DNA sequence: CTCATGATGTTATTTTATAACATCTCTGCG
DNA sequence: CGCAGAGATGTTATAAAATAACATCATGAG
């Protein structure tokens, strides 16, 4: 069976060891939080793991359902929102504004602004950290006397794999 | 961050003839829609005018309230959402994803992607159309085989005037 | 005029997010 | 240890944003 005819999978670009992605993300989170004295509690760690369950942005309520299902009892939205708030503050998770959803950060610890290529086909959100974009935004802002605090770049379009599937 | 819930006062620091802004925007909208055969109905035109009541992004429900108050009777959310949908499609209004709010387009008709400098201080959203940003995004996408459909750039920070007020 | 199309009205519901307050749990300190 | 205080979580209720499904109205081509 050739790669070209591979069936649709939850993670479309699934030619990778995703379990490794998750384990890696959790390990980095542990290290970062320990280093900072931030408390990555069991709950927060579980939420982080659920955010990382795919490379697609996931809604707070989707995570909530996972959590409830795992525990057999229903959890309150606030529980998830508070955990997400912590994770975003720590730079472990990014919020995709145009989707009201959350996705694991590809390189936490590094200072970066969050730039995403969001595919309409598969829903994947690929995080990039392009210095040209960063500096272009900074320059444009400076030219107008605007002090940048948090740049948001979310590019909708179609990823490489999805283009090949629907030519 | 709070979006514009205050009464529709023109921009806080703007020493400009805002009535002219609005009239101008409406005139251009009339012309564009006429040219395209799109129907800028009374309702849609009124919503456009309300979006333009300031240079701050306004939420759909804020506009809804204005509309209801003007008419003395309550209007349904869908009424506003449908009008906004039309206005966004026609490029007369942009949606600011990170605020769930809408703002009038500074240069409708021109093809542009929507780049905004959103001030945390005054709530103003200044629309820019910076070619460096545009090309930087396009290049970064091309390098990854990603086909861009709709780039979104929303930069949070503090505008010039607000920096001067709070030094 | 008549019909087809698109626009608006109406009612109900879904999805996303937060408020207010109670309880628990960890940690540092006497 | 035992206790105080801060931070984390639980609980209940509500707010805010968006959409669904279906009915009616308005407009313009033929
Ligand atoms: Zn992975
Ligand atoms: Zn990141
Ligand atoms: Zn103005
Ligand atoms: Zn514009």
Least Cα separation, residue A117 to chain B (angstroms): 7
pTM: 0.89
- pLDDT tens by residue, B12-41: 455 789 999 999 999 999 999 999 999 999
For strand C, which nucleotides have at least one atom less than 7 Å from a protein CB? 6-12, 15-20
Task: Output the pLDDT for position B47.
Answer: 98
Give the residue, A147 or B73, on which the prediction is more confident. A147
pLDDT score of A2: 35
Rg (CA), chain B: 17
Pick the CATH number of A18-165 from 3.40.50.2300, 3.40.190.10, 1.10.10.10, 1.10.357.10: 1.10.10.10
- Describe the strand order of the beta sheet including A125-128 as a list of residue ranges: A125-128, A115-119, A147-158, B147-158, B115-119, B125-128
Report, as an integer, the average pLDDT of B78-103: 97
Identify the residue whose tokens are 């506009």.
B63
Mean pLDDT, chain B, as a whole number? 90
Among A133, A140, A159, beta carbon nearest to B137: A133
Segments in chain A below pLDDT 50: 1-12
Give yes or no for a contact between B71 and B62, defined as CB atoms under 8 angstroms apart. no
Q: What is the pLDDT of residues A108-135, one digit of tens each?
A: 988 778 899 999 999 999 999 999 999 9
CA A134 to chain centre: 19
d(CA B56, CA B78): 22
Long-range contacts of A141-145 (CB under 8 A, 24+ apart): A141/B117, A141/B155, A141/B157, A144/B117, A144/B126, A144/B128, A144/B159, A144/B160, A145/B159, A145/B160, A145/B163
């Amino acid at each position: 069976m050739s790669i070209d005819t591979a069936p649709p999978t939850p993670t479309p670009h699934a030619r990778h060891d995703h379990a490794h992605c998750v384990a890696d993300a959790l390990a980095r989170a542990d290290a970062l939080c320990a280093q900072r004295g931030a408390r990555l509690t069991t709950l927060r760690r579980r939420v982080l793991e659920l955010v990382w369950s795919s490379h697609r942005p996931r809604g707070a309520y989707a995570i909530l359902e996972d959590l409830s299902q795992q525990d057999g009892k229903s959890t309150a939205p606030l529980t998830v929102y508070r955990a997400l708030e912590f994770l975003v503050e720590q730079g472990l998770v990014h919020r995709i504004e145009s989707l009201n959803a959350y996705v694991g950060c590809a390189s936490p610890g590094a200072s970066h602004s969050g730039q995403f290529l969001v595919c309409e086909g598969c829903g994947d959100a690929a995080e990039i950290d392009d210095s040209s974009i960063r500096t272009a935004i900074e320059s444009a802002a400076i030219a107008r006397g605007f002090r940048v605090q948090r740049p948001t770049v979310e590019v909708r379009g179609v990823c490489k794999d999805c283009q090949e599937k629907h030519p």
